[in-house]
């Protein structure tokens, strides 16, 4: 019921009830401007993977990317995967919290400031079996919303996941690297530059493998945009 009321309020542009503090507000998103301040920004970050850097670091590249640059060229991410954003993303993905879509996409727009008309948005695909279980691909929903706001083209069908891999969270580091090999297939895409869209960046292995597959198909530049990223010590 609460999700339905939130969706109605957004559609009719009525005052909305903040999902965090339960107070009415007028910005028509699921979270009020006061509660947004509790979401942790990334701040200065690696130019490739968007991992936070210390403010006094002169080289804008993290240690991991210095050792081995990812196959994607840049990550656009503005916020850390911490509470309360962690809970909002879990509600969106695992508890059918579709009323949170516009708010989460709004956070992604904070990071996407360098897009150009020749870029195409592509959601990180889900295997058909997992898509059937969940009922929707959260990355595809975010892609459609962002494409409309940014007036950019998007492609939901050219990139497929053909292997139903084990969940990355259940594997160790070495297993994660091999888990996704040859998991994706790409049809011809009439763009040289694409932006992959997903809700969360953790190890980056999924985005890395997908970017490699895209570049092998002829794409010249692959960027990545997520709502949040996991921060490691």
Residue 8 in this model has a pLDDT that exceeds 60: no
> What is the reported pLDDT for 58?
73
Cα–Cα separations (whole angstroms), residue 189 to 18, 49, 138, 208, 229: 40, 24, 22, 18, 27
The residue extents of the domains of the chain are: 1-38, 40-229
> What mean pLDDT comes out for the span 158-172?
81
Work out the end-to-end distance of the chain between its first and last CA atoms, rounded to an integer number of angstroms: 40
> What is the reported pLDDT for 173?
66
| Region of poorest pLDDT, from 4-18, 121-135, 154-168 | 4-18
| Per-residue pLDDT reduced to its tens digit, 42-92 | 999 999 999 999 876 778 999 999 999 999 999 999 999 999 999 999 999
| Per-residue pLDDT reduced to its tens digit, 98-139 | 999 999 999 999 898 777 777 999 999 999 999 999 999 999
**CA 55 – CA 39 distance, rounded (Å):** 19
75: enclosing H helix or E strand: strand 74-76
Q: How would CATH label the architecture of 40-229?
A: 3-Layer(aba) Sandwich (3.40)
User: What's the chain's average pLDDT?
Assistant: 89
DSSP state of 80: B
Residue 209's pLDDT band (cuts 50, 70, 90):
very high
> What is the reported pLDDT for 13?
55
| Region of poorest pLDDT, from 54-63, 123-132, 193-202, 216-225 | 54-63
Do residues 200 and 89 lie in contact, with contact meaning Cβ atoms separated by under 8 Å? yes
**CA 133 – CA 214 distance, rounded (Å):** 26
């Amino acid at each position: 019921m609460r999700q339905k009321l939130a969706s109605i309020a957004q559609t009719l542009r009525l005052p909305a009830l903040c999902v965090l503090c339960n107070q009415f507000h007028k910005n028509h998103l699921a979270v009020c401007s006061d509660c947004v301040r509790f979401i942790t920004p990334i701040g200065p970050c690696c130019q490739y993977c968007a991992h936070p850097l210390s403010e006094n670091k002169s080289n804008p590249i993290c240690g991991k990317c210095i050792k081995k640059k990812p196959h994607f060229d840049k990550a656009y991410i503005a916020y850390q995967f911490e509470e309360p954003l962690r809970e909002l993303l879990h509600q969106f993905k695992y508890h059918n919290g579709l009323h949170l879509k516009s708010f989460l996409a709004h956070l992604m727009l904070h990071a996407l400031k360098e897009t150009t008309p020749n870029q195409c948005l592509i959601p990180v695909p889900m295997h058909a079996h997992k898509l059937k279980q969940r009922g929707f691909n959260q990355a595809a929903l975010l892609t459609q919303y962002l494409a409309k706001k940014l007036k950019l083209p998007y492609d939901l069908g050219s990139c497929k996941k053909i292997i139903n891999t084990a969940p990355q969270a259940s594997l160790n580091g070495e297993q994660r690297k091999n888990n996704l090999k040859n998991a994706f297939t790409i049809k011809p895409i009439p763009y040289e530059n694409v932006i992959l869209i997903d809700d969360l960046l953790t190890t980056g292995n999924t985005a890395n493998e997908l970017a490699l597959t895209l570049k092998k198909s002829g794409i010249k530049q692959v960027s990545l945009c997520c709502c949040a990223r996991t921060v490691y010590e």
